[in-house]
Structures are given as structure tokens and as C-alpha cells.
Amino acid sequence: MPVYKKDMVPDMNLFTLEFTKNKSKTNELAEAIANDINTNKLKKNDKLPSKRALANHLGISLNTVINAYLLLLSEGYIYSCLLYTSPSPRDKRQS
């Protein structure tokens, strides 16, 4: 089992979300994380929670988190090694 330094472990308090019935939970979660990246609440190379840990923390299905992470990956918000945030697509447009 990997040992993480304290500053490498994601703060689960950052990941709180009240879902509405207007959108899918997958889209709401992806939008919330993207917004946190765009507003620098999550910074470049911040470690995201594991899919299972985030699903348990939010009380949602593992598949919802997997699909939200895949959506963020396809949009360039995160990169996959262990799932870290990427530079925001907004930052890429500015360079």
C-alpha cells in the first residue's frame, strides 16, 4: 500500500456537493470539479481522491465518479496516472 505524505492526501472537505434533479450526478460532479479547477480551489497537480473514496464520501455510485473522471479527462481538466488536476483549459487558451 502506498504511503502518502500528508500534503499529498486530498482534503475530502473540498469535495462536498448537493445534487439537484436538473442534471445527471455525473455531469454535476464533473462540473463541480471543473469549477474548482477553474477557480484555483484545486490547483495544477493536486491529487484527486480515489474513485472509491470519493463515491463513498459523496454517497454516490462508483460508476458515477468513474464517468465524471472520464469526462474531466476527455476535457483536459485532469490527467491520469493517479488522477491529478491538469492546467485548466482556460490556462491553455491564455498561453
- Determine what percent of the chain is predicted with pLDDT higher than 90: 40
**pLDDT greater at residue 36 or residue 84:** 36
Other CB atoms within 10 Å distance of the CB of residue 1: 3
- Residue 76 zone, left/alpha/beta (φ > 0; ψ -120 to 50; rest): left
The yes-or-no verdict on residue 93 having pLDDT over 80 is no
Looking at residues 46-67, what average pLDDT do you find? 91
Q: Report pLDDT digits (tens) over 57-89.
A: 999 999 999 999 999 999 999 887 655 566 666
pLDDT at 6: 42
**pLDDT greater at residue 4 or residue 55:** 55
Radius of gyration of the chain (CA): 13
